[in-house]
Structure 1
Amino acid sequence: MASWTLYQLVLAAVMLVTGSINTLSTKWADISTANGDPKYDEEYPDPRTFNHPFFQAVCMFIGESSCLLVFKLIILYKTCKRKPIDIGDQKFSPLVMLAPAMCDMCATSLMYMGLNLTFASTFQMLRGAVVIFTGLLSVAFLNRRLRVYQWWGIFLVFLGLIVVGLADVIAPPSDQQAQNITNIITGDLLIIMAQIITASQMVIEEKFLSKYNVQPLQAVGWEGIFGFTVLSILLVPFYFIQLKAIRVGVPDYRLEDAIDALFQLRNNSIILVATIGTILSIAFFNFAGISVTKEMSATTRMVLDSLRTVVIWAVSLLAGWEEFNPVQLLGFVILLLGTFVYNDVFFPPMYRKYVKGETPEERPLLSPESQEAVINYEDSGRSIKT
């Protein structure tokens, strides 16, 4: 830490703060109430909670899209200053980003649906499941060979996920939340399902995009544009799709009602501020995260991302959104330990001293370009733990 420059410290702080704001602002909007579309007033009395995960995903993609603008501004600045600049391979077709963007769209929508049903701290912890699915899919489709310590890391992450999930079931934080235990479990499962899609996105990018020298900010920006365009179009049919068998929280059982969301944004400044916070935090988080990887290391980025969970948990406790749960703390410690083991931090270097044939230089599961390009979510934002 002492060797870090002021610029590096600022980058680390921006990544930690904006990454935490992303999850917290989305949850803040979820639990806020406001009057919605007047046509629902008779059957659904106001005020109602802001339950619009697909609309929130569209807002997230707006933040990602801004990364492309930042990329262009950096090029303009360095050109004006006549500084050397690496713009990567500009001959690639942006359409190569379409498949990863669709994975991003599905995963983000599922995660926001899950976040609406469960706790912010649990949401952040369960996202660690991406380690498991990325490892398994890379073995199956990329012919990767995982080291022994990586399998141990996957096992520990899996164990941590079980403990975190059980914490919501066997020790619900409050009586009111205990009455909604079904929603909490559903939310947890949706978040884990989203990690499968996120892992698929990483594998797709590694298989098809690693051959292109695409700058990370540019890649994230194009993913944001495709995700925003497709999901915005889908909001129209979503308005007419009614899931009467499943109560999703939107009036008339609609899958999504963007018009109602806009009414609630207008009628409650807190929801508006939280939504703007989601958009801005996604943009700054992606920029800061990519810069941390470049200026320091991917390991530093992973550690900061783990600290983000601590910040989100602490703020949730102070805000009264949830109560302290020692079982959840145990699950988080196991998750953190598994993530560190899998990412070759602390324990594997000591382990290699006693294993013949191992060397300190281990090839990461994904290429550096893929690691940086699929960072987001987040949530997605997103974050890569490989």
Structure 2
Amino acid sequence: MGFTAYQTFLAVVMVTTGSLNTLATKWADRSHSAGRDGVEREFNHPYVQALGMFLGELSCLLGFRILYMYYMRKDYTEDQLPPSISGNRDFKRSVFALPALCDLLATSTMYVGLNLTYASSFQMLRGSLIIFTAIMSVVFLKRKLKAYEYTGIGFVIVGLTIVGVSDMISSNSASKDTNNIIIGDVLIILAQIVTAAQMVLEEKFVNSQRVSPLQVVGWEGFFGFVTMAILLVPMYFIKVGNGVFNNPNGQIEDAIDAWYQIKNNWQVACGFSGTIISIAFFNFAGVSVTKQISATTRTVLDSIRTIVIKIVGVALSWEKVDGIQLGGFSLLLIGMFLYNDVLIRPTYLKWSRQRNRSDYVNDKDTAEGYNEPIMQ
């Protein structure tokens, strides 16, 4: 069954804005700007970028309110509201707090990792989410995995290993430090454990509330933004040196320095703004795809944006074409398709049924031929 026009629109928005989000964040990371001490350096502020991401998600509540008021003034009934704002109005806002905290921890960790590794590797390594989601769904949701799902997980593990090895090899011929690459890749994979917990929590609590996609994104953004804004205060006073972070006085995060860098360079400002705007549309489209089509389709579309990010990264000379990495990504893609029962297994089953049907017809014709009376 094909997509409706609205579903196709959601798919295009998800791939486009998802790709823009990673690329905009990496653009800001790579840009140099003068900080509060007047020294030019790369924009290394993962926690401020996480705050921007939650601000983008929070803006979805404003979008929900505007759309809801618009349709109510036109005397629409609840049943006539568009899918983006239709849903339960009487739900517990507090159920979004725990998933939002998971999102905060995972996103902040991933942004630190993105600072240390390549944009395409960042996106590819997020494929490890399948492994941890499967484990947690078995443990906490009592789900039983099928043979093809285990096979898919196996392909993903091999693909991730190849991508990691490729990054270490690439770092030897590039300006990036091998240790930073390894740390970045490990942080991204660890963040997927927290993201998996977030998805399990959403499936168990949030999705049962039947809330509209805009409100799901908006309320998680609200709790994430408030928490991150509070945490930025102690982060300013905690000094850890400049091994991973690059703040003037060695703090975990220096939001004041980040503000100066955003103000002093239009590229940093555009990259940071792009992160805020794109994440709002991406998360809305992602939740809507899950609600309108399936979580499987959302995973496949997420894989497509990995290809887009790789192509753009090579075109902008941020990365090089790496045969080993492409091989690892191919195995990752096969694993994702197998785990989500997309394309590969359905195609094989369809071919197998057609072949069996053809063999049955041929056997039947042969048998009938043997039963025909011999003409004298």
Band the TM-score falls in, shorter-chain normalisation: 0.7 to 0.9
With 335-344 and 292-301 compared, the bigger mean Cα shift is at 292-301
Letter in 2 for 1:113: V
Residue 243 of structure 1 is aligned with which of 234, 240, 244?
240
Matched, 1:280 2:273: no
Give me the CA root mean square deviation. 2.2
Cα pair distance change 1:70/1:113, threshold 3 Å: same
Tell me the secondary structure at the aligned position of residue 34 of structure 1. strand
Give the aligned partner of residue 17 of structure 1. Answer: 16
Q: Residue 136 in 1 paired to residue 129 in 2? A: no
Equivalent residue number for residue 25 of structure 2: 26
SS of the residue 1:185 aligns to: helix
Q: Which has the larger radius of gyration?
A: 2
Match of 1:74 in 2: 67
Report the 3-state secondary structure (helix = DSSP H, G, I; strand = E; otherwise coil) of the residue aligned with 2:175.
Answer: helix
**Following the alignment from structure 2 to structure 1, what is the Cα–Cα distance between the partners of residues 27 and 44?**
11
Return the offset for 1:217: 1.9
The match for 1:145 is 144
What is the deviation of 1:228? 0.4
Partner of 1:269: 266
**Which of the pair is proportionally richer in helix?**
2
Deviation at 1:174, TM superposition (A): 3.0
Instruction: Note the residue ranges of structure 2 that are not aligned, 5 or more in a row.
Output: 353-376
Match of 2:47 in 1: 54
Deviation, structure 1 residue 249? 1.6
Partner of 1:195 in structure 2? 192
Q: Which amino acid aligns with 2:277?
A: L
2:374: which partner in 1?
Answer: none
Are the equivalent residues in 1 in contact too, given 2:155–2:334 (CA < 8 A)? yes
CA contact (8 A) 1:67 1:286 kept: no
User: Residues of 2 paired with 1:297 and 1:130: CA distance?
Assistant: 17
The one-letter code sitting in structure 1 at the alignment partner of 2:163 is V
Distance 1:325 1:28, change over 3 A: same
State the distance in 1 between where 2:248 and 2:56 align.
Answer: 27
Query: What's the counterpart of residue 310 of structure 1?
Result: 307
Counterparts of 1:92-241 in structure 2, within 5 Å, are: 92-172=91-171, 174-177=173-176, 180-241=177-238
Q: Please give the TM-score of this superposition, normalised by the length of structure 1.
A: 0.84
Q: Which residue of 2 aligns with 1:35?
A: 34
Mapped contact 2:129–2:195 kept (Cα < 8 A): yes
Q: Distance in 2 between matches of 1:209 and 1:71?
A: 17
Distance 1:137 1:354, change over 3 A: farther
Cα 1:289–1:205 shift into 2, 3 Å: closer
Offset at 1:312? 0.5
Give the residue type in structure 1 aligned to 2:304: L
CA contact under 8 A between 1:173 and 1:322: conserved in structure 2?
Answer: no
- Trace 1:295-306 onto structure 2 (pairs within 5 A): 296-306=293-303
| Structure 1 stretches lacking a partner, 5+ long | 356-386
Tell me if the contact between 1:21 and 1:277 (Cα under 8 Å) persists in the aligned partners.
yes
Could you tell me which amino acid in structure 2 is paired with residue 65 of structure 1?
A: L
The secondary structure found in structure 2 opposite 1:275 is: helix
How many percent of aligned residue pairs carry the same amino acid? 52
Structure 1 residues 294, 185: CA separation in 2 closer, same or farther (over 3 Å shift)?
same
SS of the aligned residue for 1:176 comes to: coil
Contact kept? 1:97, 1:222, Cα under 8 Å: yes
- Counterpart CA distance in 1 for 2:6 and 2:178 is 45
Q: Which amino acid aligns with 1:96?
A: V
Name the CA distance, whole Å, in 1 between partners of 2:145 and 2:129. Answer: 15
Provide the rounded CA distance (Å) in 2 between the counterparts of 1:354 and 1:282. 40
Report deviation, 1:287. 2.6
Give the TM-score taking structure 2 as reference length.
0.86
Distance 1:294 1:95 in 2: 21
Read off the aligned partner of 1:52 and give its amino acid letter: H
Q: Is the 8 A contact 1:173 1:323 kept in 2?
A: no
Match for 1:236: what amino acid? V
Query: In 1, Cα distance between the equivalents of 2:133 and 2:296?
Result: 17
Task: Give the distance between the partners of 1:112 and 1:271, measured in 2 at CA.
Answer: 15
1:96/1:296 CA distance change after superposition, 3 Å: closer
1:61 touches 1:228 (CA, 8 Å); kept in 2? yes
For the residues of structure 1 that align with 2:88 and 2:4, how far apart are their CA atoms? Answer: 30
In structure 2, distance between residues paired with 1:5 and 1:90: 26
Superposition deviation, residue 335 in structure 1: 0.5
Preserved CA contact (<8 Å) 2:151 2:335: yes
Question: Is the CA contact (8 Å cut-off) linking 1:174 and 1:323 kept in structure 2?
Answer: no
Q: What corresponds to 2:257 in structure 1?
A: 260
- Alignment partner, residue 320 of structure 1: 317
Q: Is the 8 A contact 1:265 1:271 kept in 2?
A: yes
**Structure 1 residues 238 and 190, CA gap change in structure 2 (3 angstroms):** same
**1:352 and 1:217 mapped to 2: Cα distance?**
38
C-alpha distance in structure 2 between counterparts of 1:5 and 1:135, whole Å: 30
Q: By how many angstroms is 1:214 displaced? A: 1.9
* Separation (CA, whole Å) in 2 of partners of 1:19 and 1:222: 20
Q: In structure 2, do the counterparts of structure 1 residues 4 and 198 end up closer, same or farther at CA, with 3 Å as the change threshold?
A: closer
